[in-house]
Amino acid sequence: MRLKKYQKNWKASIAFTITSTISEYMPFNMGITELEEMALRCRINIIKMIHKSQSGHPGGSLSAIDMIVGLYGTVLNIDTSNPNWKDRDRFIMSKGHASPAIYSILNEFGIINEKDFMSFRTLGSICQGHVDMKWTDGVDFSAGSLGMGLSFGLGCSFAAKLDNSQRNIWVMVGDGETQEGQLWEAIMAADFHSSGNLKLIVDRNGIQNDDFVSKQMEVGNLSKKIESFGWEVTEIDGHNMEEICGAIKWANDGQERPMAIIANTIKGKGVSYMENNPSFHGKAPNDEEYHIAMEELS
């Protein structure tokens, strides 16, 4: 029942967003169309960098990018000229293999540039294979091993409380990643510590490394499961920018309990032959596939 209640609430948030257009909650104040255009540019850059390096993870980058754009373009409180600003909101990309999505958004906000992301996965590049806070400005976590990001976020959430700071901590995980036991340790601990400044986004794209999640080990009704651990949960279409913005605002405003958004997405979204195709979890497009992708995205 609570799920329905909050779904209703984010719909109310959308109405607020659309009618007010500019909100004090939204540092970058981007509208839906602007966000959708940014997401398209990010998709193009994701494919470009993976094609150039001939390695990387397109599927999970394309499924996650709309939420990432929605977050950075609206509520995420960062200083693009000082990415290490201590009191910034944090965005912890726990599914660190979707690094092209992060590099594409950091490029949009001028924290890195095209030359940086086109050196993705090469020796000495600041754009490492998996996102790494020691290599890239604007990256808040050294990821690559699944299941760890929410715990890290919980530590950041404790620190924010100790500092009496209003900063929020956002964490994105994949649905395959929810098979990791540590994630549930963190979900349980966040409830116990009433970590209302902690926000979780689950990229529910239904595919993991080897195959569909339903075949590897189905994770079931994540909304109910996370809700049963004491979190507030809502579920959205992770490619509908209006729904994304509404849910992000809803999660951003909720401060009593930890907040989770289950974003139903399509792995490889935007490139026809990658969509819902497990083989493009961690495979680069060849030259022919690259040209098809570019045509479809332009």
Partner 1 sequence: MSAPSGGGASRDGYGNALLRLAENSDVVVLEADLGKSTKSCHFRSKYPERTFSLGIAEQNMMLVAAGLASSGKIPMASTFAIFTERGFEQIRNGIARPCLKAHICGSHGGIHTGSDGSSAQSIEDLAIYRTLPNMTIIHPADDISAEELTMQVVDLEGPSYMRTIRNKVPRSYSEETKNELKIGKGSLLKDGNDVVIICCGVMVSKSIDAAIILEKEGINAAVIDMHTIKPLDEKMLDLWSKKCRCIVTAEDHSIIGGLGSAIAEHNSRTNLVPMEMIGVKDRFGESGDSEELFKIMSMTTEDIVKAARKSISRK
**Residue 74 binds to partner 1 (criterion: CB under 8 A):** no
**Residue 65 binds to partner 1 (criterion: CB under 8 A):** no
Instruction: Report the residue number, 25 or 158, with the smaller CB distance to partner 1.
Output: 158
Instruction: Report the residue number, 30 or 169, with the smaller CB distance to partner 1.
Output: 169
Match 């569909």 to its residue by tokens: 212
Instruction: Report the residue number, 34 or 185, with the smaller CB distance to partner 1.
Output: 185
**Residue 191 binds to partner 1 (criterion: CB under 8 A):** no
**Residue 192 binds to partner 1 (criterion: CB under 8 A):** yes
Contacts with partner 1 by CB under 8 A: the residue count is 32
Determine contact, residues 47/296, Cβ cutoff 8 Å.
no
CA torsion, points 173, 176, 177, 179, in degrees to nearest 10? 140
Burial 133-151 (b: 16+ CB within 10 A, else e): eeebebbbbbbbebbbbbb
Residue 189 beta carbon to partner 1: minimum distance, rounded to whole angstroms: 5
Token digits of residue 8: 């209703």
Among the residue ranges 8-16, 111-119, 153-161, 221-229, the one whose residues contact partner 1 (CB under 8 A): 153-161
**Residue 132 binds to partner 1 (criterion: CB under 8 A):** yes
Residue 192 beta carbon to partner 1: minimum distance, rounded to whole angstroms: 8
Among residues 133, 222, 292, 294, the one that binds partner 1 under rule CB under 8 A:
133
Instruction: Report the residue number, 167 or 249, with the smaller CB distance to partner 1.
Output: 167
Among residues 86, 115, 256, 288, the one that binds partner 1 under rule CB under 8 A:
86
**Residue 228 binds to partner 1 (criterion: CB under 8 A):** no
**Residue 170 binds to partner 1 (criterion: CB under 8 A):** no
Match 């909101």 to its residue by tokens: 89
**Residue 148 binds to partner 1 (criterion: CB under 8 A):** yes
Q: Which of 84, 100, 99 is nearest to 49 (CA)?
A: 100
Match 């819902």 to its residue by tokens: 276
Residue 85 beta carbon to partner 1: minimum distance, rounded to whole angstroms: 12
**Residue 104 binds to partner 1 (criterion: CB under 8 A):** no
Among residues 63, 142, 168, 197, the one that binds partner 1 under rule CB under 8 A:
142
How many angstroms separate the CA atoms of 59 and 47, rounded?
10
- Phi then psi for 18, rounded to 5 degrees? -70, -45
**Residues in contact with partner 1 by the rule CB under 8 A:** 86, 132-134, 140-142, 144-145, 147-149, 151-160, 162-163, 181-182, 185-186, 188-189, 192-193
